[in-house]
Amino acid sequence: MKKITRRQALGFAIGAAAVVGLSACSSSKAPATAAIGAEASGSPSVPPFSLPSGGIDEVYEGHRIQITLGEGGQHGGHHLPAMPVVKIDGNELHIMRNADGSWVSVVNHYETFPDPIAAAKAAIRDLQGTQLAPFGPHEGGSTS
C-alpha cells in the first residue's frame, strides 16, 4: 500500500485552506458592497446623537457628570456633527462613537456602551473612587 508523503499532505492542506479562504471572501463581498453603497448614498445608518436642551448634569456615585454638545466641524468638505463633551468632576472623558452607534471611552475602551452617559458611569465604576486624570496639554497635562 502506498503512503502519502509529507509534501503531498502539505499540498492538500494548503489547497483546502485556499478553498475555505476564497469561499469566505466571496460570501462576505455582498454585505461590504451594501454597506459602502448605503454610506455613499448619504443616508446614515446610525442616527445622530441628541441631548436634552441644556445637556446632562447629574451626580453618580459621588462624581459629577456633565455632558454638553461640542462644536461640529468639517473634514474634507464634509460637515461633521457635534460630538458630546463628557466631563467627570470637571475633567474631560474622551469618548468615541463606533460605526454601529455604540460608544467607547478612554477609560474603558474594550467595552461598548449605548450612549455617552452609560460610558461615563462605567468609567466612574472603573476608576474605583479615584479622580479622572487630565488628558492632554489643553487640560493641564504636560506636553513632554
CATH number at residue 113: 3.30.1880.10
- Residues 132 and 63 placed together within one structural domain of the fold: yes
| DSSP states of 29-96 | HHHHHHHHHHHHTT--SSPPP---TT-EEEEETTEEEEEEE---EEETTEEEPPPEEEEETTEEE-EE
pLDDT in tens, 69-91: 877 665 555 556 678 889 999 88
CA–CA separation, 66 vs 92, rounded Å?
Answer: 9
In a domain, 47, yes or no: no
Q: Which domain holds residue 15?
A: 6-40
In a domain, 51, yes or no: no
Global pTM value = 0.57
The answer to whether the CB of 45 falls within 8 A of the CB of 32 is no
- Number of domain units in the chain: 2
In a domain, 46, yes or no: no
Please name the residue that has the C-alpha cell 489547497: 15
In a domain, 50, yes or no: no
pLDDT in tens, 24-64: 655 544 444 334 333 433 445 666 677 778 788 999 999 99
- Residues 35 and 94 placed together within one structural domain of the fold: no
